């Protein structure tokens, strides 16, 4: 039985089968979590999924992947000549023959030009449809996001514990990632902002060798991937006692978060969610130069994007991260939680501490 979200996309595209190598869509359609941490492999192309409107999706990947799903394989790691592109092209042809689809919708952003030229009859699928695919999650997918959010919680608590005057951002980062990977039982891909002091005013950045000093705040946005599914989280706290100005900014950001959550229900237009958050932060005297939020799960930033003027209508099962902030020159605060839209409103899935005081262990 094909995924009804896929069937709807193929209907809209007038196609029988989707071909994509987007790691998020591969995860959604087959359950396979693609390796993404070390860039292109010399031995294989990123896994492709051939997903028909009727029948089972097929992975097209190298034998190194050991896929759980049905697959057409080509040679991967070898001491012989390397031929991953021709191997992938041949395996894709076999997969398409097995599926029997005539009209192919191609995800032209994720499939390589070499592979694309082997199926010149394929039409490029529209970007907007691909981006919306997977924005509504199944209960199992929500549970997988919750598992990734537990890693966020563990990482956020570890980061608070490692924070202190004299600690470098990189030391806090190392403790944070170690806690996440210990909890996951293996290596995890983690996208992160982890900055302290004046760089918080720049919204975010990579951890550096800078040592923290009393009076700094730490802005920590942790985005780990577990089993191919992303979590997201942000909090901001003082290295020692947070300065009064940071408390004022924090109150503004929290007001934005609460205002956004108050509007989060099926039927709400995302532009109004954005306006609610931005308006509350503005009432406190601040602004933020980024989105209010975004969908989450198959990618770390997906539909529904919660940005000014956006017209997407929230539906039950959509999972969104909300992350308003308050920034000025040299000082910034951001708070973020993830929530799922329910039948009548929403349920917050995040559990990490949000308070400006470092010692806080439970979410305000």
Contacts of 234 (CB under 8 A, 6+ apart): 193, 219, 220, 221, 222, 323, 334, 335, 336
Please state the closest distance from residue 68 (CB atom) to a copy of itself, in A.
17
85 near a copy of itself (CB under 8 A): yes
The CA dihedral of 263, 267, 273, 279, to the nearest 10 degrees, is: -70
108 near a copy of itself (CB under 8 A): yes
Please state the closest distance from residue 336 (CB atom) to a copy of itself, in A.
16
Which residue in 93, 189, 262, 282 binds a copy of itself (CB under 8 A)? 189
Segment 112 to 131, residues that bind a copy of itself, using CB under 8 A: 112-117, 124, 127, 131
For residues 55 to 74, the per-residue mask of contacts with a copy of itself, x marking binding by CB under 8 A and - elsewhere, is --------------------
Longest dimension (CA), the chain: 66
Closest to a copy of itself by CB, 10 or 158: 158
Calculate the CA 293 to chain-centre distance.
Answer: 11
Please state the closest distance from residue 174 (CB atom) to a copy of itself, in A.
4
- Write the CA distances from 180 to 108, 307, 309, integer angstroms: 34, 30, 36
178 near a copy of itself (CB under 8 A): yes
Q: Cis (ω within 30 of 0) for the bond into 337?
A: no
| φ, ψ (nearest 5 deg) of residue 90 | -65, -40
Question: What are the contacts of 10-13 at 24+ separation with CB within 8 A?
Answer: 10/53, 10/105, 11/53, 12/126, 12/129, 13/105, 13/123, 13/125, 13/126, 13/129
- β 217-226/233-238 pair status: antiparallel
Total residues contacting a copy of itself (rule CB under 8 A)? 61
How many Cβ atoms from other residues are within 10 Å of residue 328's Cβ? 14
Name the packing angle between helices 139-162 and 169-184 (round to 10°): 140
Please state the closest distance from residue 115 (CB atom) to a copy of itself, in A.
7
How far apart are the C-alpha atoms of 179 and 211, rounded to whole Å?
21
Closest to a copy of itself by CB, 162 or 246: 162
Closest to a copy of itself by CB, 65 or 302: 302
23 near a copy of itself (CB under 8 A): yes
161 near a copy of itself (CB under 8 A): no
Closest to a copy of itself by CB, 98 or 301: 301
Listed ranges 138-146, 171-179, 325-333, 352-360: which one lies at the site for a copy of itself (CB under 8 A): 171-179
Which residue in 254, 300, 337, 338 binds a copy of itself (CB under 8 A)? 300
How many Cβ atoms from other residues are within 10 Å of residue 311's Cβ? 9
Which residue in 2, 7, 93, 170 binds a copy of itself (CB under 8 A)? 170
Segment 27 to 56, residues that bind a copy of itself, using CB under 8 A: 34, 36-40, 42-43, 45
Comparing CA positions, the residue from 120, 122, 97 lying closest to residue 19 is 122
Residues that bind a copy of itself (CB under 8 A): 22-23, 34, 36-40, 42-43, 45, 77, 79-80, 82-85, 106, 108-117, 124, 127, 131, 168, 170-171, 173-174, 177-178, 181-182, 185-187, 189, 191, 206-209, 223, 289-291, 299-302, 305, 307-308
């Amino acid at each position: 039985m094909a995924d009804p979200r896929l069937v709807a996309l193929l209907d809209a595209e007038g196609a029988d089968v989707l071909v994509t190598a987007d790691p998020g869509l591969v995860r959604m359609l087959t359950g396979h979590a693609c390796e993404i941490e070390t860039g292109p492999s010399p031995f294989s192309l990123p896994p492709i999924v051939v997903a028909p409107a009727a029948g089972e999706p097929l992975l097209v990947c190298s034998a190194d992947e050991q896929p759980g799903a049905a697959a057409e394989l080509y040679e991967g790691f070898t001491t012989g000549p390397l031929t991953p592109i021709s191997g992938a092209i041949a395996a894709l042809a076999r997969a398409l023959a097995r599926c029997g689809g005539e009209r192919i919708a191609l995800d032209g952003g994720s499939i390589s030009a070499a592979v694309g030229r082997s199926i010149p009859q394929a039409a490029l699928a529209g970007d907007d449809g691909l981006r919306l695919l997977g924005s509504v999650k199944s209960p199992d997918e929500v549970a997988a996001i919750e598992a990734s959010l537990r890693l966020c919680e563990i990482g956020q608590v570890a980061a608070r514990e490692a924070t202190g005057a004299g600690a470098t951002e990189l030391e806090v980062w190392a403790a944070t990632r170690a806690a996440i990977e210990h909890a996951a039982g293996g290596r995890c891909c983690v996208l992160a902002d982890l900055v302290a002091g004046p760089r918080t005013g720049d919204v975010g950045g990579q951890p550096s060798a800078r040592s923290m000093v009393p009076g700094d705040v730490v802005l920590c946005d942790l985005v780990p991937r577990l089993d191919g599914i992303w979590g997201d989280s942000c909090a901001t706290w003082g290295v020692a006692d947070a300065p009064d100005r940071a408390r004022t900014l924090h109150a503004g950001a929290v007001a934005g978060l609460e205002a956004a959550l108050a509007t989060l229900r099926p039927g709400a237009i995302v532009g109004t969610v954005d306006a609610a958050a931005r308006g509350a932060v503005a009432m406190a005297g601040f602004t933020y130069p980024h989105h209010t939020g975004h969908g989450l799960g198959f990618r770390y930033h997906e539909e529904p994007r919660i940005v000014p003027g956006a017209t997407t209508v929230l539906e039950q099962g959509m999972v969104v991260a909300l992350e308003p902030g308050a920034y000025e020159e040299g000082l910034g605060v951001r708070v973020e939680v993830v929530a799922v839209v329910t039948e009548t409103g929403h349920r917050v899935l995040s559990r990490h501490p949000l308070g400006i005081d470092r010692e806080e262990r439970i979410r305000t």
